[in-house]
Structure 1
Amino acid sequence: MRKLYLSVAALTLAAASASAAGRMNPSDQRRITKAREHIVPAVAKEFGPKARFVHLFGQGANMLAGVVAEIPEQPVATDDVPLLAIVQYDETNGAVRVVDREFKYREARAVGRSVALLDGQGNLRLREPNGRERLLAQKVGGDLFPTAKGDALVATLVGDGEGHETSVGFIDLNGRVKVLADGPGIDATPSISPDGKTVVFVSGRTSVASFFVTTVEGAAPRQLTNIGLESHMLFGGAPEGFVPPPVSSHHMEWVGNDVLRYNAGGGEFWKLNVRTGQAAPDLGGEK
């Protein structure tokens, strides 16, 4: 299971490395700096001086952060990826509170007033505001992204070993799972539009990590970016017209129902029109 998480990440990270990263929108830099100023001392107080927060999930008042007990001194093996405790960070006022102090999670995401928690075995549970917790789905690979209404989420699902490695699924709060896209290789990193109709994801089915679009009804996926490119064309640098994939679903946000803004690596954010496939770096301006 842990090897699968890393293989999904490798799809996006390998292609993103071809991007001319290193540029960051000043407003994004301020958000990151502000988050560190609030989260770092809170984590040290709650978990001890060796603990570090290593992931941010979501935005705004419902942003969550993943915390490791300590940073390993040596690079970890594939099967030894540290699991996370979870805290909530409110971007609006800087408040930090512990959601779960056990180091057993791969990801977490706010879904409405509840929190979806994905453990190291691929079990996705929903913790409600009253503390009640229930199993939503199993064989979930990660990339949790909730609907704007907070009534469902999309995620990467793990294959059963007989078909494709991963697929993109829609999971409602009753635990019903619907596969939306399941192509050769890896389909991952889904995100759903604010109107709850459009699902964008990254696929390696053409040998180059590219954006595809489908619907919550599971329409045939349509390629949006890097059309006509093949993996050998990336040797020596990104070719003209290459659109880097996101580094994860946790650094995605929608600018209306048609435009997705995402982190392409190195702090460089891009904007993608999910109707036309047009994409470009988002280099400046206030957010």
Structure 2
Amino acid sequence: MNPSDLRRVEKARERIIPVVEKEFGPKARFVQIFGHGRNMMVGVIAEIPEQPLATDDVPLLAIAQYDEPTGTVRVVDREFKYREARSVGQNVALLDGQGNLRLREPNGRERLLAQKVGGDLFPTAKGDALVATLVGDGEGHETSVGLIDMKGRVKVLADGPGIDATPTISPDGKTVVFVSGRTSVASFFVTTVEGAQPKQLTNVGLENWSLFGGAPASFVPPPVSSHHMEWENEDVLRYNAGGGEFWKLNVRTGQAAPDLGGEK
């Protein structure tokens, strides 16, 4: 892992763990971080289950907020009923286990923003909308990528065959990058907030059979989630590819490489 990333993780653990144990009990554990920087969200479970969860099982979480620059932690909601949470401007978006996305305002007032939301919440830099994975009405596991504004209006941006998921939106609010399996290999695609025809950025020409026996040198791994993505600027996206490895992707050219980093 990039040394600077490792230090960020260790510092977050040092600050979050004592607060979680104090506020939720000694068996509680934080198991997920949503976002980064100021007002990062933290998912907490009541205790580690005795039996491992099945692949499709998602634990229901209580939510805390962690301010990375200052290290302060505060409880947002003590009920274990959420799948995800993200800061959206001054508000907090909370996704429950039934796919209902609610917006909690600073005064505590809460309203339903959207339904049939699968997750992967990623807010705009302005805090006026967020992108997310949407769940279809039909059978199976088909999903799409949508833009949800603060009035609850939902606009589908990408809906190809199979899974379109894990979206993120550039700092200028114009470019949406997501992961799709429409070519049989999980790859990055790019579109716009106007819903332009998606363009494949990575793994162009690869098919699933080409991964048998190990991925080729040209393979660009997909992100583990949208919660560990950071934009360095409007062109460069940094993301967690799993195993402690971060990659950088140029969303204009499709060029990607591991971010090995260095001592900072």
**TM-score range for the pair, normalised by the shorter chain length:** over 0.9
Aligned to 2:16: 39
Tell me how far 1:77 sits from its aligned partner.
Answer: 3.4
Distance in 1, matches of 2:57 and 2:241, equals 26
Contact 1:270–1:282 at 8 Å: present in 2 too?
yes
Query: How do 1:4-43 residues align onto structure 2 when only pairs under 5 Å count?
Result: 24-43=1-20
CA offsets per residue over residues 22-67 of structure 1, 9 Å max, x none?
xx11000000000000000100000001100000011111101000
2:103 matches 1:126: yes
Question: Of the candidates 245, 260, 264, which is equivalent to residue 283 of structure 1?
Answer: 260
% identity of equivalent residues? 86
1:51-66 paired onto structure 2 within 5 Å: 51-66=28-43
Counterpart of 2:136? 159
Whether 1:143 and 2:120 are equivalent positions in the alignment is: yes
TM-score normalised over the length of structure 2: 0.98
CA distance in 2, matches of 1:253, 1:158: 25
2:167 is the counterpart of 1:190: yes
> Deviation at 1:172?
0.1
1:234 matched residue in structure 2: 211
Task: Give the direction of change, closer, same or farther, for the CA distance of 1:158–1:278 in structure 2 (3 Å limit).
Answer: same
| Structure 1: distance between partners of 2:110 and 2:232 | 32
Structure-1 separation of matches of 2:186 and 2:206: 10
For residues 88-128 of structure 1, the C-alpha deviation after alignment (integer angstroms, 9 at most, x for no partner) is: 00111111000001000000000001000000000000000
Matched, 1:76 2:16: no
Cα contact 1:252–1:261 (8 A) shared by 2: yes
From 199, 202, 227, the equivalent of 2:179 is 202
Classify the secondary structure of the residue corresponding to 2:38. Answer: helix
In structure 2, C-alpha distance between the alignment counterparts of 1:279 and 1:157, rounded to whole Å: 27
Structure with greater proportional strand content: 2
**Displacement after TM superposition at 1:164 (Å):** 7.3
How many pairs are equivalent?
264
Structure 2 residue corresponding to 1:257, chosen from 221, 234, 241:
234
Gaps of 5+ in 1: 1-23
Q: Would the alpha carbon gap of residues 77 and 242 (structure 1) be closer, same or farther in structure 2, given more than 3 Å must change?
A: closer
Q: Which residue of 2 aligns with 1:98?
A: 75
Q: Secondary structure at the match of 1:61?
A: coil
- The residue aligned with 1:12 is none
Taking the aligned partners of 2:263 and 2:147, their CA distance within structure 1 comes to 33
> Residues 198-220 of structure 1, C-alpha deviation per residue, up to 9 Å, x if partnerless?
00000000000000000000000
Quote how far apart the aligned CAs of 1:285 are.
3.0
Matches within 5 A, 1:205-224: 205-224=182-201
Structure richer in helix, relative to its length: 1
Q: Which runs of 5+ in 2 are unaligned?
A: none
CA–CA distance in structure 1, aligned partners of residues 234 and 63 of structure 2 = 30
1:250 aligned partner, one-letter code: H
| Inter-partner Cα distance in structure 2 for 1:249 and 1:226 | 19
- Once the two structures are TM-superposed, the CA of residue 82 in structure 1 deviates from its matched residue by 1.8
Secondary structure, counterpart of 1:33 in structure 2: helix
Shift of 1:76: 2.1
Residue 240 of structure 1 and its aligned partner are, at CA, apart by 1.7
Question: 2:263 and 2:124 mapped to 1: Cα distance?
Answer: 25
RMSD of aligned alpha carbons: 1.3
Residues of 2 paired with 1:79 and 1:216: CA distance?
A: 30
Question: 1:48 aligned to 2:25?
Answer: yes
Q: Provide the TM-score with structure 1 as the length reference.
A: 0.90
1:196 CA displacement:
0.3
